[in-house]
A and B are shown apart, each in its own frame.
Chain A
Amino acid sequence: GAVVSQHPSWVICKSGTSVKIECRSLDFQATTMFWYRQFPKQSLMLMATSNEGSKATYEQGVEKDKFLINHASLTLSTLTVTSAHPEDSSFYICSARDLSSYNEQFFGPGTRLTVL
């Protein structure tokens, strides 16, 4: 099956710093990737849709200047949390859609971000 990786798996940073998270589709090309955020004991919330070669589409309430998304190739999307604060601490999960599998999305293993 399709494999999606994320790096890093966890990161701890100081308040005010920026953190970059990578999402890669390893064995298929993904024109579209999605970024979700999951707070402890809560559901996954869609943050943005990452489109290869164009601007990301952000969900209502998600600050595009704070969560920078770049989808420079068909296998890589990055999410940069700028000027991170403790309230940004969360589990960030990406997914990628394999065009050959209709709507099925394949999830990465997630990145645990802790902002001190």
Chain B
Amino acid sequence: GENVEQHPSTLSVQEGDSAVIKCTYSDSASNYFPWYKQELGKRPQLIIDIRSNVGEKKDQRIAVTLNKTAKHFSLHITETQPEDSAVYFCAATPHSGGGADGLTFGKGTHLIIQP
């Protein structure tokens, strides 16, 4: 099965600086890589995702890069703000056509934005 490693487990950055979270995966069949933000006691919220036919995707302050050869993908947040403080999870899943594959999550990164 798939195994997703995520680093770092905790990341503290000054407000306005950039934050980078990295993930690696093991299953070469994986081709969908979402990133979720989760606040305490709440559901995970999709913030950006990328598919294997794309190397990079950007949405305002958030970007994701994917290197399929190396099996790693990264989340980049620029101009960080206090409301970016949360736990971020990367995930991976293969798309088998039937669409019945659940997500394998990384262990999460607690992002702390220092004012």
A residues near B, CB below 8 A?
31-32, 34, 36, 42-46, 49, 51, 57, 59-60, 91, 93, 95, 97, 99, 102-105, 107-110, 112
Contacts and interface: CB of A to CB of B under 8 A. Distances in A.
A104 B46 contact: yes
20 contacts: A32-B99, A34-B102, A36-B102, A42-B108, A43-B105, A43-B108, A44-B44, A44-B89, A45-B105, A46-B102, A49-B101, A102-B51, A102-B95, A103-B93, A104-B34, A104-B46, A105-B34, A107-B43, A110-B41, A110-B42
Q: Which secondary structure dominates chain B's binding surface?
A: loop
Contact of A49 (B43, B102, B106): B102
Interface of B: 1, 32, 34, 41-46, 49, 51, 89, 93, 95, 99-108
Contacts of A44: 44, 89, 103, 105
A109 to B, nearest CB: 5
Nearest to A103: B32
B99 A99 contact: yes
Nearest to B94: A103
B49 A104 contact: yes
B30 to A, nearest CB: 11
Given A43-B108, A108-B43, A109-B42, A103 B102 contact: no
B44 A107 contact: yes
Nearest to A106: B46
A49 B104 CA distance: 12
A43 B106 contact: yes
A42 B107 contact: yes
B100 A32 contact: yes
Contact of B100 (A43, A51, A60, A104): A51
Contacts of B41: 91, 110, 112
A46 B103 contact: yes
A46 B104 contact: yes
A34 to B, nearest CB: 5
The 5 A-B pairs at the shortest CB distance, nearest first, are namely A46-B102, A103-B32, A107-B43, A34-B102, A43-B105
A78 to B, nearest CB: 17
